[in-house]
Amino acid sequence: MNFSETFKLSGLLCKFSPNGKYLASCVQYRLVVRDVRSLQVLQLFTCVDRIQHVEWSADSSFILCAMYRRGLVQVWSLEQPEWHCRIDEGSAGLVASCWSPDGRHILNTTEFHLRITVWSLCTKSVSYIKYPKACQQGIAFTQDGRHMAVAERRDCKDYVSIFVCGDWQLLRHFDTDTQDLAGLAWAPNGCVLAAWDSCLEYKILLYSLDGRLLGSFCAYEWSLGIKSVAWSPSSQFLAIGSYDGKVRILNHVTWKMLTEFEHPATINNPKIVVYKEAEKSPRLLLGTRPFPPSRGAVTSVESKYEIASVPISLQTLKPAADRANPKIGVGLLAFSADNYFLATRNDNMPHAVWVWDVQKLRLLAVLEQLAPVRTFQWDPQRPRLAVCTGGPRVYLWSPAGCVSVQVPGEADIQVLALTWHRSGDSLALLSKDHFCLCFLEPQCVGTIGQLGKAT
The answer to whether 165 and 149 are in contact (CB under 8 A) is no
CATH class of 262-455: mainly beta
> Residue 42 contacts by C-beta under 8 Å, 6 or more apart in sequence?
22, 33, 34, 35, 78
DSSP 91: G
At the second CATH level, the architecture of 1-129 is: 7 Propeller (2.130)
What is the C-alpha separation between 396 and 405, in angstroms, rounded?
A: 8
- Quick one: CA torsion of 48, 51, 57, 62, rounded to 10 degrees? 30
Query: Could you write out the DSSP letters of every residue in 283-299?
Result: EEETT---SSGGG-PEE
- Any alpha helices (H) in 58-144, and if so which ranges? none
Q: What is the pLDDT of residue 444?
A: 55
Q: Evaluate whether 200 touches 180 at the Cβ level (below 8 Å).
A: yes
**Cα dist from 213 to 131, 187, 195, 208, 408, whole Å:** 22, 15, 11, 7, 53
**pTM of the predicted protein model:** 0.91
Amino acid at 244: D
Helix (H, G, I), strand (E, B) or coil at 195: strand
Alpha-carbon span 413 to 395, nearest angstrom: 14
The amino acid at residue 104 is R
Domain 1-129 and domain 262-455 have a common topology: no
Average pLDDT per consecutive 10 residues, the chain (455 residues; last block may be shorter): 94 97 98 97 97 98 97 97 95 96 97 95 94 95 97 96 94 96 98 96 97 97 96 98 97 96 96 91 49 40 76 91 82 97 97 97 97 97 97 95 88 91 96 95 52 36
**131-218: in CATH 1.10.340.30:** no
Burial of 170 (0-12, 13-18, 19+ CB in 10 A): exposed
CA–CA separation, 63 and 46 (whole Å): 13
Looking from the CA of 123 toward its CB, the CA atoms found within 13 Å total 8
What are the sequence ranges of the domains in the chain? 1-129, 131-218, 262-455
